[in-house]
Amino acid sequence: MKEKLEVGDILYRTGGISGISKIEIERVTKTLAISKNNKFRREISNGWIRAIGQHTWSREVYRLHTPELDKTYLRSAFCQIIKDMDTTEISLDSLREIVSIIKKSLKQSD
């Protein structure tokens, strides 16, 4: 198991109000790993990654990249794109096809 965060490591933040987000470590010092908006303790303790300034009662959890977390992140991102999409320019036939694809997918996952 990995013991320290390094430049290029991908973390996923889960448990907060924003769902899941992806964070890349851009810089490291002897004790810190730094991303665009966060600082973390560089040491990974029993799989736990702690953000600097994170309260002990915080529900946000930071975890190293796994294929399962990547799938969860992509699913969330795609659903958000669909939710925010302006459908006024999509033809009725295309919308029917999209809904049909989604319904078929939901039946297959049962």
Give 82-107 pLDDT, tens digit per residue.
889 898 989 999 999 999 998 998 88
Is the torsion defined by CA of 41, 42, 43, 45 positive or negative?
positive
Higher pLDDT, 27 or 19: 27
Compute CA distances 80 → 21, 37, 73, 84, whole Å: 12, 22, 11, 6
Query: Phi and psi dihedrals of 83, rounded to 5?
Result: -60, -40
pLDDT 10s digits, 45-91: 887 898 988 777 777 889 999 999 999 999 989 988 888 989 898 99
What pLDDT score does 2 carry? 83
What pLDDT score does 74 carry? 93
pTM of the model: 0.74
The ranges assigned to domains in the chain are 10-109
